[in-house]
Amino acid sequence: QQQVKQSPQSLIVQKGGISIINCAYENTAFDYFPWYQQFPGKGPALLIAIRPDVSEKKEGRFTISFNKSAKQFSLHIMDSQPGDSATYFCAASEGGGSRLTFGEGTQLTVNP
Amino acid sequence: GAVVSQHPSWVICKSGTSVKIECRSLDFQATTMFWYRQFPKQSLMLMATSNEGSKATYEQGVEKDKFLINHASLTLSTLTVTSAHPEDSSFYICSARPPAGGAGDIQYFGAGTRLSVL
């Protein structure tokens, strides 16, 4: 019940295209859903996060869509750029500063 | 955003020696820090949760006598890998959480430490 399932495992997108990564969870107590970006040999960096009281949050080219009834959330990267090539992790926590549960990760490659 | 500094970024040691990794929150006080381990092309695996001034809480399967965690101040936590062996070679990452409140759920990550045990 603590798992967060992420797909796809890898994704190849052309420059300017839209990258979409999906995550699903089971634990209905989760109330904080961040996305992290990780480059090789570096620690994860927080990209964007959402709470269940909204269905969508947009920051620049990055948008989180959240479907509470389906227990799913997704990351959309608009106008994808080669510099976006990295591994993306979704995560979830029960809030109040509790531990994060991470998805398996998606390796995104944006071709020039 | 908040900065978490992790040192060293890369360490090579001989089998049987101990290695200490430091994690510092530079511009905020971190009541809670987390230590993760990451194998190549895999997700982050939580090893332990460290609260300032108290004993760390280890995840199931993590040997607390092998991975010693100390959180002596609100800005510093250390992970010591004792009697390291080649199977301990991995990427270790810390994260720090600001005090409870509006940003209390956010975890800021260090850049990671690559440990290679010969």
Residue A73: CATH number of its domain:
2.60.40.10
Phi, psi of B86 (to 5 degrees): -50, -30
- For residue B95, pLDDT beyond 90: yes
* Contact check, Cβ <8 Å, A34/B46: no
- Structural domain tally of chain A? 1
- For residue B100, pLDDT beyond 70: no
Mutation target among A102, A106, A109 for the B interface, most CBs of B within 10 A? A102
Indicate the average pLDDT of chain B.
91
What percentage of chain B has pLDDT greater than the value 90?
A: 73
- Look up tokens 């495992």; give the residue: A9
Q: What is the mean pLDDT of residues A37-58?
A: 94
- Look up tokens 């090539």; give the residue: A85
- The string of pLDDT tens digits covering residues B25-63 is 998 888 889 999 999 989 999 999 998 888 899 999 999
CB-based contacts of B103, cutoff 8 Å, min separation 6: none
Question: Where in the sequence is the domain holding A86, given as residue range(s)?
Answer: 4-111
CB-based contacts of A102, cutoff 8 Å, min separation 6: A4, A36, A89, A90, A91, B43, B44
Cβ atoms of A54 and A64 within 8 Å: the answer is no
* Contact check, Cβ <8 Å, B43/A105: yes
pLDDT of residue B55: 87
Residues of B in contact with A99 (CB under 8 A): 34, 46, 49
What percentage of chain B has pLDDT greater than the value 70?
A: 95
B45: β partners = B37
